[in-house]
Amino acid sequence: MMIPEIRIQSSMLLFNSISENEKKAWTSDISQEVITFPEIEAYTIELQEAWEKHGREILEAMVNLYGVEFRKNIIDVYVAPWNKSISNPLILNPSRLPEIHIETVIHELLHVRPFLCMTKIKKPSL
């Protein structure tokens, strides 16, 4: 059973690629304050630490419960504000506590086909 490494990281290029108009529209739309890149970096560290506590157990459970096989050794997760969390590329909005946001990582991993080989999906037995 191959368990991939999940690398949670921030990207200055991704952060800077979002226009001022998108930032203003996003923050006014959901009442989220404008965030700085150092704040993104700090959040990224917190999210990585939260993931490291249970990440391997979570991935092993995904394999055992659903019968999926990971096709990649490394899966990159980027943290970027002013967007919704998406699965390909896997980008998370830092709008939730890191301890809760690992659920979003699980959610995105379970439905993005480039990361998984879905030939052996099975229903979980409870």
In a domain, 97, yes or no: yes
> Which pLDDT score, from 0 to 100, does residue 65 have?
84
In a domain, 78, yes or no: yes
27 contacts 97 by C-beta, under 8 angstroms? no
In a domain, 69, yes or no: yes
Domain count, the chain: 1
Per-residue pLDDT of 7-27, as tens digits, reads 999 988 888 777 566 677 766
Domain region containing 74: 5-120
> Which pLDDT score, from 0 to 100, does residue 93 have?
85
> Which pLDDT score, from 0 to 100, does residue 122 have?
58
In a domain, 126, yes or no: no
In a domain, 90, yes or no: yes
DSSP letter string, 53-121: HHHHHHHHHHHHHH--EE--SEEEEEE-SSS--EETTEEE-TTS-HHHHHHHHHHHHHH-GGGEEGGG-
Which residue numbers in the chain have pLDDT < 50?
Answer: 118-119
| Average of per-residue pLDDT values in the chain | 81
pTM of the predicted model as reported, rounded to 2 decimal places: 0.79
